[in-house]
């Protein structure tokens, strides 16, 4: 039997609308209302300024280790901006800007990175999952949400975030296979920031793109300039509309770059060059979008000052919160606490009470909560 080419032959598109030099493809420019363009820019700028403030807070020991988003604001905001409040957003661990846009109070996010479980709990009416630190484990959960929506005939789309490193995990492939087989309403957003901690993309895969991995599972994939918020928005809107219309999943690969550290426990100078970072700084998504809005006369005066004040007020609210009850470490694991853990909980309660009594007898001040201290957190490396 002769060899024959199977039809169709697959292709992957790359979408760029506003390049790093400010050149705009007007034929592809999405129709976004001026008020929405302003909201989009404000959300990106808030994400950047909060990121910078959180780095300082971590260095001062006021919060623990976290993963900065600097350089990836367009990938997050261009995609999450296309969701309805009733849709589901499933983050990994670097979606701070998207979470704030979805309604997470800044002080609650800070609370999470200060080690309080309350900070990771979505509001009862919030259609978001909490931050997921283990790489790619949130993706099967996201597909399960989409399958449930499909089964219940809810008009809901799920958007799941992950990095390039997640595509090297089995959970990623299992989730895409499940999504393709069941044709569920989900949009996979891969923020390809070129580095899985210290492993470059070229050592993770021999594929020309990450977007093409969708084709093996029977649904479309598209690669976009992840620093071009217009391109991310256009691709995401199309993918969300497809999912909502019952046309199944889409994988969007946002080609971007992590300008900062992987986490605040990381030193990227050990594995990447300064020249590489400077080259990507020339493609900064905020600089690019700022120039676009400037040409449209849509930049707001005093916006940075407003955002700085908003963040400062949130930090004050965060640090005024009461410290978490240490006894909650025994909660939320077992439906019924086993005898040995009940005994340990009681022992800890007694020790805490004795410590309070001792301090009262010795006229000592109560111990400072972790958020008020200026010392290295035990979560830092």
User: Shortest CA distance to 228 belongs to which of 73, 63, 5?
Assistant: 73
What phi, psi does 220 have (nearest 5°)?
A: -70, 150
- Residue 374's pLDDT is 39
Q: DSSP letters along 202-234, please?
A: GGT--SS-SGGGGGGGTS-EEEEETT-HHHHHH
> pLDDT by residue (tens digit) across 200-244?
999 999 999 999 999 999 999 999 999 999 999 999 999 999 999
Is residue 62 within 8 A of residue 319, CB to CB? The reply is yes
> pLDDT by residue (tens digit) across 124-164?
999 999 999 999 999 999 999 999 999 999 999 999 999 99
> pLDDT by residue (tens digit) across 157-167?
999 999 999 99
State in Å, rounded, how far the first CA of the chain is from the last one. Answer: 61
Q: Which CATH architecture has domain 13-319?
A: 3-Layer(aba) Sandwich (3.40)
Determine the Cα–Cα distance for residues 266 and 65; give it in Å rounded to an integer: 10
Is residue 193 within 8 A of residue 262, CB to CB? The reply is no
> pLDDT by residue (tens digit) across 24-75?
999 999 999 999 999 999 999 999 999 999 999 999 999 999 999 999 999 9
Percentage above 90 pLDDT, the chain: 84
- The one catalytic residue among 271, 334, 342, 351: 271
Q: Is the pLDDT of residue 376 over 60?
A: no
> pLDDT by residue (tens digit) across 259-269?
999 999 999 99
Q: Is the pLDDT of residue 370 over 60?
A: no
Average pLDDT over the chain reads 92
- Reply yes or no on whether 14 is catalytic: no
- The one catalytic residue among 62, 94, 242, 258: 258
Count CB atoms within 10 A of the CB of residue 360. 10
- The one catalytic residue among 62, 127, 262, 288: 262
Is residue 139 within 8 A of residue 171, CB to CB? The reply is yes
**pLDDT band, residue 379 (cuts 50/70/90):** very low
> pLDDT by residue (tens digit) across 98-107?
999 999 999 9
Determine the Cα–Cα distance for residues 309 and 106; give it in Å rounded to an integer: 12
Q: Which residues pair with 89 in a beta bridge?
A: 128, 159
CA atoms 54, 102, 42, 251: torsion sign: positive
Q: How many alpha carbons lie under 13 Å from residue 137 in its C-beta half-sphere?
A: 7
- Reply yes or no on whether 94 is catalytic: no
What phi, psi does 211 have (nearest 5°)?
A: -60, -30
**Arithmetic mean of pLDDT, 256-285:** 96
Q: Where are the domains of the chain?
A: 13-319, 326-372
Q: Are strands 221-225 and 250-255 parallel, antiparallel or unpaired?
A: parallel
- Reply yes or no on whether 271 is catalytic: yes
Q: Which residues, other chains included, contact 287 with Cβ-Cβ below 8 Å and sequence gap of 6+?
A: none
User: Shortest CA distance to 146 belongs to which of 131, 160, 157, 134?
Assistant: 157
> pLDDT by residue (tens digit) across 345-354?
999 999 999 9
Is residue 166 within 8 A of residue 135, CB to CB? The reply is yes
What pTM, to 2 d.p., does this model score? 0.89
């Amino acid at each position: 039997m002769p060899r024959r080419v199977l039809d169709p032959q697959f292709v992957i598109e790359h979408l760029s609308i506003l390049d790093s030099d400010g050149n705009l493809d007007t034929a592809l420019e999405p129709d976004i209302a001026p008020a929405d363009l302003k909201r989009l820019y404000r959300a990106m700028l808030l994400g950047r300024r909060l990121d910078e403030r959180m780095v300082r807070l971590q260095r001062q020991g006021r919060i623990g280790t976290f993963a900065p988003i600097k350089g990836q604001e367009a990938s997050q905001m261009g995609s999450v901006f296309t969701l309805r409040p009733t849709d589901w957003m499933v983050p990994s661990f670097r979606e701070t800007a998207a979470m704030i846009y979805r309604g997470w109070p800044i002080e609650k996010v800070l609370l999470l990175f200060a080690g309080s479980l309350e900070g990771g709990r979505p509001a009862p009416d919030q259609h978001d999952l909490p931050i997921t630190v283990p790489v790619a484990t949130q993706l099967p959960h996201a597909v399960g949400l989409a399958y449930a929506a499909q089964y219940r005939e809810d008009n809901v789309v799920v958007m799941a975030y992950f990095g390039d490193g997640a595509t090297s995990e089995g959970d990623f492939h299992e989730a895409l296979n499940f999504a393709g087989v069941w044709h569920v309403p989900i949009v996979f957003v891969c923020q390809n920031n070129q580095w899985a901690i210290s492993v470059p993309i070229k050592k993770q895969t021999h594929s020309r793109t990450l977007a093409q991995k969708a084709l093996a599972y029977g649904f479309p994939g598209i690669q976009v300039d992840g620093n071009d918020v217009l391109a991310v928005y256009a691709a995401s809107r199309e993918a969300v509309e497809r999912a909502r219309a019952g046309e199944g999943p889409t994988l969007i690969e946002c080609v971007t770059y992590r300008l900062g550290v992987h986490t605040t426990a990381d030193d990227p100078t050990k594995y990447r060059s300064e020249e590489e970072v400077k080259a990507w700084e020339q493609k900064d998504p905020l600089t690019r979008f700022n120039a676009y809005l400037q040409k449209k006369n849509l930049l707001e005066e005093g916006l940075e000052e407003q955002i700085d004040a908003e963040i400062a007020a949130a930090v004050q609210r965060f640090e005024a919160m009461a410290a978490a009850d240490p006894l909650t470490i025994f909660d939320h694991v077992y439906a019924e606490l086993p005898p040995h853990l009940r005994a340990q909980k009681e022992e800890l309660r007694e020790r805490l009470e004795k410590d309070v009594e001792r301090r009262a007898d010795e006229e000592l001040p109560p111990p400072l909560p972790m958020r008020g201290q200026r010392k290295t957190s035990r979560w830092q490396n």
